Amino acid sequence: MHGRHLSSVLVRVGSTQLLIDCGEATQFQLSASRYKPGKLSTILISHLHGDHWYGLPGLLASLSLAGRTRRLQIVGPDELEGVLRRIPGLKEDELAYPIDFISTNSSDSLNLKKGIRISWAALDHGVPCVGYRIEEPGGEGNLDVDKARSFGVVDFQDYQRLKDGQSVENKLGQEISPSEVISPGKPGRVFAYVSDTRPCENGIMLGRNAQLLMHEATFMEDMRSRAEATGHSTALDAARVAKQARAARLLLTHFSARYEDAEIVALEAQTVFPNTSAAVELAPEAVEELAERI
């Protein structure tokens, strides 16, 4: 509606590609983007309202028809696996690739390769629904060799031990710890996805210190009663969450069809949290293209 499709966000961390939610027509939007669906490693589903997952069966079937054999991870509610497996063509012996289902009901985090961590927490939507936080590993600090030498550490093997996080002894038998000679590492980026929900504490927790918080803003403030009744947020709600979470940027999404121009929703949020923008389809967003609304 108004040129906007249903919920789906592609997140790229290095060479790892993740998909959060999969509304109808997601696979067509993917084909129009720069990214290849076959490279997806993990799909995260927030809840089982149709606008967040009805595109998943078609995407899974298309991946199989395209010859995918690599294992795929799907994170979502308990019921998701059973629902998908009952669809013709998606049974375990019908797909060309295996799927690992991870339940958001029985765990709260998942560690991927390359140090990427995904965590989730329950939101307030009236049905089981979770928000997601994706964290990339931070960069390692640098060893200050001159400083190490000033502390009497001259053995190159000791330098390596310090880099590996081990303390060493200097020539005088004194213990030198890594924190004394290695600079703090660069923190990894954080992307948080909070949709669908009323404003809640878990939304703040998920967005804590995130470089980018993507939060739903289904309504503007004059529709507050409607937002509360349907388990959604207003633009000001999202802005307050971002402010309390100390996020660097707020990206609004999940706009009601009544708003032809999402920019007016963003303008309302900017009165509380200035660094706010409205998500644009197929446009790279966030820190160094961390996320793309598709």
Summarised one tens digit per residue, pLDDT across range 97-133 is 999 999 999 999 999 998 999 999 999 999 999 999 9
* Residue 33 pLDDT: 84
Alpha carbon 247 to chain centroid, angstroms: 14
**Helices and strands in the chain, H and E counts:** 10, 16
Supply the pLDDT for residue 2.
Answer: 42
Q: Which of these, 200, 277, 272, 288, lies nearest to 236 by C-alpha position?
A: 272
| 8-state DSSP, 219 | B
Q: How many angstroms separate the CA atoms of 60 and 40, rounded?
A: 11
Structural domain boundaries of the chain? 9-139+186-293, 145-181
Residue in 31, 32, 11 with CA at minimum distance from that of residue 288: 11
pTM comes to 0.85
Instruction: Give me the count of residues in the chain.
Output: 294
* Catalytic annotation, pick one of 21, 51, 146, 164: 51
Residue type, 179: S
SS3 content of the chain, % helix, strand, coil (to 5): 30, 25, 45
Which class would CATH give 9-139+186-293? Answer: alpha beta
pLDDT of residue 34: 83
Tell me the C-alpha distance between 213 and 204, whole Å: 10
Tens of pLDDT, residue by residue over 169-217, are 998 899 999 999 998 888 889 999 999 999 999 999 999 999 999 999 9
**Residue 99: predicted pLDDT:** 98
Q: Output the tens digit of pLDDT for each of the chain's 294 residues.
A: 345 778 999 999 989 999 999 999 899 888 888 888 999 999 999 999 999 999 999 999 999 999 999 999 999 999 999 999 999 999 999 999 999 999 999 999 999 998 999 999 999 999 999 999 999 988 888 899 999 999 999 999 999 999 888 999 998 899 999 999 998 888 889 999 999 999 999 999 999 999 999 999 999 999 999 999 999 999 999 999 999 999 999 999 999 999 999 999 999 999 999 999 999 887 665 444 445 555
Q: Which residues of 26-40 are buried (b: 16+ CB within 10 A; e: fewer)?
A: bbebbeebebebeeb
Q: Which residues pair with 169 in a beta bridge?
A: 175
Specify whether 51 is catalytic: yes
Identify whether 222 is preceded by a cis peptide bond (ω within 30 of 0).
no
Q: Tell me the C-alpha distance between 124 and 233, whole Å.
A: 10
